[in-house]
Structure 1
Amino acid sequence: MSLPPPHWPIDFKTTLMRAILYVLFIAAITQGAYLEALYMPELRFSEYGFTELTQTAVLATCCLMLLYVRHVLKVWPTVTLLLFAFIASSLVREQDYFLDEYVARHTWKILVALIVIPSIAWIVIKRHAFLDEFRHYSNTFAFGLFAGGVLTTYVFSRLYGRSIFWQAVLEDNYVRDFKDAAEEVVELLGYSLILFATLELLLLARRMHLRRKASQTLL
């Protein structure tokens, strides 16, 4: 059976500090998108712009944190494998332009399949362990943030960034730049929520790891 999360509360000072850091991060990426639009007219909201590159950096950071949780802290290995497969697939998908341009068309689909299929197969094999781990994970703040990030990125940004929506709003003044900016910035916000969720998971996993070490020491 997997180790449940520790029950001792996080003090208000720590919670407040994290909230301030998250607010500052969101303010920073918003300001970055503004500066991109202001000073990078040729590259704004393209694959070489601030927003797209930041999305890549955020996803790559999430992948590294999940690998650390799974292989170093050794907490919830099947849940973290599923999260890693999901985020790594998103990271590959974000590189579709470069892969199509410099490798071959549809390369990203092959890479995603190589990530997803073995991961899902392993989770199915370990499904009892996964369900036990997920029972604990689903009751954490990290899961709530992750769910919010997924809904923001993969549902809201897609619907909000539809061309027909912005054509209806702007009518004869419609320019694709409006649509691209709206979709990419909202997508970056969603990825940021996933980043916060992964960080919260790492911090929780570290507490679980320390508790496990303490228990082993007592034995």
Structure 2
Amino acid sequence: MRQDLRFILERFGLFIICSIAIGLIIGMMFIDIHWIHNSVHETSLVEITQEVLLLVMVSIFFYQAYRYPLLRHSLVLVGGFFTCMLIRELDFLMDVIRQGAWFWFASAVAAICVIFALRRPATTLTGLVAFLKHPSYGMMIAGLLCVLVFSRLFGMQILWKGILSGDYQRVAKNMAEEGTELLGYTFCLFATLWYSSSLAERHSRLLHESTC
């Protein structure tokens, strides 16, 4: 009974933490609009927070890849994926070099990570399967769907021009799209922390299986 209560309290605590994080997201959007009046541009608090969350996730995956050799190739692959997303979010900086230059930087990172993962295909697949089986994968997918699918469709100009009609203002579209992206990145960060916390046990299990 004590274990059941502990489990329930842990899950309730997770709900509270997620609720606070979502509240902070709304707070940042409020600051952008009512205090800074920056219309959610590339240098807005919402955009900067997205980039910080991506940087944290990239750092976690690559750091864990350094710590756990048996999971290294799969972690590098996932870390490379989020690195490409970070580069895409920073496209306005790379446009100084050339319009669309982010694509070439992201392609280079993707190629390096894929080549590294292909050096040990069996190990990479084992690590990816371990990630897909972990409960955090559901939250990760929810976050990615928010970022890559829902925010793009929800942020279409034609939709917002239809909603606001003659009162259309781009800030409304930006807030809806970027706010949804920030929510998705927050889910991804939670999933990353959740999965990362279980890596020591998973690596020990794989190490034990490899020596048997």
Alignment of 1:71 onto 2:66:
yes
Comparing 157-166 with 139-148, which one deviates more in the overlay? Answer: 139-148
Alpha-carbon deviations, 1:151-192, whole Å to 9, x = none? 110000000000011111111221111111110000111111
Match among 91, 94, 100 for residue 106 of structure 1: 100
Structure 2 gaps, min length 5: none
Alignment of 1:33 onto 2:65:
no
Asked whether the equivalents of residues 75 and 127 of structure 2 are also in contact (C-alpha less than 8 Å), the reply is no
Asked whether the equivalents of residues 70 and 206 of structure 2 are also in contact (C-alpha less than 8 Å), the reply is no
Structure 1 gaps, min length 5: 1-8
d(CA) in 2 for partners of 1:77 and 1:15? 30
Structural mapping, 1:97-176, within 5 Å: 97-101=92-96, 103-176=97-170
TM-score of the two chains, using structure 2 as the length reference: 0.87
Shift of 1:75: 5.5
Asked whether the equivalents of residues 75 and 205 of structure 1 are also in contact (C-alpha less than 8 Å), the reply is no
Amino acid at match of 2:184: G
Match among 178, 190, 195 for residue 172 of structure 2: 178
Amino acid at match of 1:154: L
* Richer in helix (by share): 2
Match among 75, 78, 85 for residue 80 of structure 1: 75
Aligned pair in 2 of structure 1 residues 47, 75: CA closer, same or farther (>3 Å)? farther
d(CA) in 2 for partners of 1:190 and 1:104? 29
Shift of 1:212: 7.5
Percent identity reads: 24
Q: Give 4+ residue runs of structure 1 displaced > 6 Å after superposition.
A: 210-213
d(CA) in 1 for partners of 2:128 and 2:59? 21
SS at match of 1:31: helix
Alpha-carbon deviations, 1:13-32, whole Å to 9, x = none? 33333332222111111111
Match among 80, 87, 91 for residue 92 of structure 1: 87
Aligned pair in 2 of structure 1 residues 139, 61: CA closer, same or farther (>3 Å)? same
SS at match of 1:76: helix
TM-score of the two chains, using structure 1 as the length reference: 0.84
The equivalent of 1:4 in structure 2 is none
d(CA) in 2 for partners of 1:117 and 1:175? 39
Asked whether the equivalents of residues 93 and 112 of structure 1 are also in contact (C-alpha less than 8 Å), the reply is yes
SS at match of 2:198: helix
Shift of 1:72: 1.7
Match among 3, 9, 21 for residue 13 of structure 1: 9
d(CA) in 2 for partners of 1:13 and 1:64? 30
Shift of 1:79: 2.2
Alpha-carbon deviations, 1:28-66, whole Å to 9, x = none? 11111112111111x231111110000010000001111
